[in-house]
Amino acid sequence: MISSKLKIGIVVGEVSGDTLGAKLIRRFREQGIDAEFEGIGGPQMIAEGFKSYYPMDILSVMGIVEVLKDIKKLFAVRDGLIETWTANPVDIFIGIDAPDFNLRLSKSIKQKNLPIKTVQYVSPSVWAWRQGRVHGIKATIDLVLCLFPFEKAFYEKYQVNAAFVGHPLASQLPLKNALMDAKQALGLNLQQKHIALLPGSRRGEIEKLGPLVLDAAALVSKKHPEYQFIIPAINDARKQQIESLLDTYPQDLKNKIQLLENIDTESKIGRMVMDASDIVALASGTATLEAMLLHRPMVTFYKLNRLTYFIARLLVKIPYYSLPNIIAGKKVIEELIQSNATPEKLAAEIESLMDIEKSKIQSMQLLTMHKQLLADNSEDPVSEILKLIQ
């Protein structure tokens, strides 16, 4: 049993990490662990009493080439945290996702011999690409908390301390999601059919992928005027960005699109929009797991900087990009990546999901995968973390 008050450092870089971080903080408290939390967090964690030294958005950079543009700023943030924790060390550092930043931060902690145990919550995709990173992880991370059972099995081959803790959403989201109830919760017309468009939650993603989804929506709308489109915005900045983009499109398309801004600290608007939609078109990323657990028919897409994509293709070891396909080990949902991510192809895939039989088959496959995630025995993340200092 821990007798003194713990100091726990946490760093997250996006909404999904903020959600996991807030749940983890609550889990510590539910188990009666006296702890204070600091580092980099979002509104959900801050609402739990978390002290954030930098805004979460500062780490919201994706891609190899894209990161290089902000490398000085990211180094300054890392060095600032190291300076803070050298003067007043935390007992445990937990990096939640954001592996490019968090693994480097853990490495710095070890290089400076700080008395801090290091945890990576959400495994980087070492089983998919850049597998050589596993040796660095073994040297600098005391514990990896894995969301999926196949990740723990991968680490065990390299004698890395890892625990399968499951994804909290798998147990949080019900196996039955009533579409009409979800529409009602958002105040949508129950007689209307809806298509969710999720170009991502980062500024750069919306810049790159926003025109793709809106161009595809224009094509779909011409052939299927009975459908309405919903776009979630996680905050006011993203809402204004999407509104500015929409202003460049004809009024008849704008009339078909409803933009919904997040209104609570849990940033659930993306999930609520997907749950209330008949079809989901979303950027490949962690949101695809949410869509999978909602069992909504979906298509995913992504475009990277050309050089980033070229480098990634040389390093990727698996044939799929989206979590549902990676978890299934086969293509369950369509992936439109890079040159395949065109408005015409995206519109065609959305249209194909209007086929009731095809969408029903996909939804059943996603439901089966949800059940499988629940069936695997997972460990308690707090208990696994505390083992490091007991």
* 21-39 pLDDT tens trace: 999 999 999 999 999 999 9
Cα separation, 331 vs 294, whole angstroms: 18
Residue 61 has pLDDT above 90, yes or no: no
User: Does one domain contain both 149 and 210?
Assistant: no
Residue 1 has pLDDT above 60, yes or no: no
Each residue's pLDDT tens digit, 78-112: 999 999 999 999 999 999 988 889 999 999 999 99
Q: Indicate whether 74 belongs to any domain.
A: yes
Each residue's pLDDT tens digit, 180-204: 999 999 999 999 999 999 998 888 8
Query: Could you give the C-alpha distances from 174 to 23, 241, 383, in angstroms and in order?
Result: 17, 33, 25
Q: Which among 197, 239, 203 has a CA at the least distance from the CA of 216?
A: 197
pTM reported for the whole predicted model? 0.72
CATH number, domain containing residue 121: 3.40.50.2000
Structure-block tokens of residue 346 = 């995206």
The pLDDT assigned to 192 comes to 94
The pLDDT assigned to 167 comes to 84
User: Does one domain contain both 369 and 382?
Assistant: no
User: Does one domain contain both 113 and 209?
Assistant: no
User: Does one domain contain both 90 and 203?
Assistant: no
User: Does one domain contain both 205 and 354?
Assistant: yes
User: Does one domain contain both 202 and 235?
Assistant: yes
Q: Indicate whether 146 belongs to any domain.
A: yes
- The pLDDT > 70 percentage for the chain reads 91
Q: Indicate whether 173 belongs to any domain.
A: no
User: Does one domain contain both 159 and 229?
Assistant: no
User: Does one domain contain both 153 and 192?
Assistant: no
User: Does one domain contain both 152 and 276?
Assistant: no
- Tell me how many domains the chain contains: 2
Q: Are 95 and 121 in contact (CB under 8 A)?
A: yes
Residue 355 has pLDDT above 50, yes or no: yes
Q: Are 102 and 96 in contact (CB under 8 A)?
A: yes
Predicted confidence band at 265 (pLDDT cuts at 50, 70, 90)? low
Each residue's pLDDT tens digit, 275-330: 999 999 999 877 898 999 999 999 999 887 667 666 566 556 666 778 888 888 88
User: Does one domain contain both 120 and 198?
Assistant: no
Cα separation, 326 vs 323, whole angstroms: 5
Predicted confidence band at 64 (pLDDT cuts at 50, 70, 90)? very low
Under DSSP, the state recorded for 129 is B
HSE-CB at 110 with a 13 A cutoff on CA atoms is: 16
The pLDDT assigned to 69 comes to 61
User: Does one domain contain both 219 and 138?
Assistant: no
Q: Indicate whether 28 belongs to any domain.
A: yes
Predicted confidence band at 146 (pLDDT cuts at 50, 70, 90)? very high
User: Does one domain contain both 98 and 151?
Assistant: yes
Q: Indicate whether 174 belongs to any domain.
A: no
Range of 186's domain?
179-374
Structure-block tokens of residue 256 = 């078909």
What is the side-by-side strand order in the sheet with 227-233? 257-261, 227-233, 193-198, 279-283, 298-302, 334-337
Under DSSP, the state recorded for 22 is H
The pLDDT assigned to 315 comes to 57
Each residue's pLDDT tens digit, 222-247: 999 999 999 999 889 999 999 999 99
Q: Indicate whether 1 belongs to any domain.
A: no
